[in-house]
Structure 1
Amino acid sequence: MVDRQQLEVLDREQCLGLLRTVQVGRLVFVEDALPAVQPVNFRVKRDHVVIRGAGGAKLATAAGDTVLAFQADELDPELRAGWSVTVVGHANLITDVTELVDVSGTWLKSWVDGRRDHFVRIEVEKVTGRRLHTPVTPTA
């Protein structure tokens, strides 16, 4: 008998709900005309992905209203189960004072020392997600 994986395609609300359960994802952007991926702390705020950073390539990318991707997941290799969500959308630097005050209160301590004074919003224009359920052993 062979175990069969159960793959579930997730809708937008399920994807955003799962993103709210984790704190680290991967930002996918272009740097020096090449793809780049960096782990980032994030939050979902008003159905947008918000990243807090110090600057550098991520900030430069976001300041230009650039389209980028973001991905987060939670996987269990022992159970061969988990989920993955990918977001694609325009990134913008948050500059409105009221919005900055609102988003800044939702952050835990950064994993990296130093100031993290910039907030980037990714507008969720396209979101896809998959959940892989624990294999089910067929009954005879």
Structure 2
Amino acid sequence: MLDSFGFEVLRRDQCLELLAGLDVGRVIFTHRGLPAVQPVRYISHGEEVLCCAPEVSALFHAAGDAVVAFEVDDFAADRESGWFVTVLGRARLQGAEGVPESLPAMSWRSVGDDRYLCIPIEVVSGRRRK
């Protein structure tokens, strides 16, 4: 099925597969009453997306226990083909003790005081253009 822009509408399993294939995405959240976007390194882990949220960041202070969106995409340089996946979920904050040690490093920072933002994949949608 195609959407009104001519993109193929993806099933949940296709979205999760694409989500697992990259490691940089964007968290969309509300900061001081306005939309905000934060690029993050992430991992798709089961039915959630995990990313770092330094304790001093706007993301850390605004996104805990709030509904957020997460977006990842991959488009060809000519912009004629590609895909995007969007996740919606009520985020929660946690320390490193709740994150499996087998996961790769997700922080761009050299200090280890980061907290993690966990976004459950409650709603997921995706589109692809070949």
TM-score (norm 2): 0.85
Q: After superposition, where does 1:1-140 map in structure 2 within 5 Å?
A: 7-55=7-55, 56-63=57-64, 65-78=65-78, 80-95=80-95, 97=97, 99-100=98-99, 102=100, 104-108=101-105, 110-133=107-130
CA RMSD of aligned residues (A): 2.1
Unmatched runs of 5 consecutive residues or more in structure 2:
none
Letter in 2 for 1:25: G
> Partners in 1 of 2:96 and 2:53 — Cα distance?
16
> Partners in 2 of 1:132 and 1:21 — Cα distance?
17
> Partners in 2 of 1:15 and 1:106 — Cα distance?
21
Change (3 A) 1:122 1:52: same
Contact 2:30 2:63 in 1 (8 A): no
1:115 positional shift: 3.2
SS in 1 for 2:7: strand
Contact 1:53 1:116 in 2 (8 A): no
Contact 1:86 1:129 in 2 (8 A): yes
Letter in 2 for 1:49: V
Unmatched runs of 5 consecutive residues or more in structure 1:
134-140
Identify the structure with the greater strand proportion. 1
Number of equivalent positions: 125
Contact 2:26 2:72 in 1 (8 A): yes
> Percentage identity across aligned positions?
36
Letter in 1 for 2:32: D
Contact 1:54 1:115 in 2 (8 A): no
Larger CA Rg, structure 1 vs 2: 1
> Partners in 1 of 2:113 and 2:69 — Cα distance?
21
Bigger relative contact order, structure 1 or 2 (CA pairs below 8 A, ≥6 apart):
1
Letter in 1 for 2:23: Q
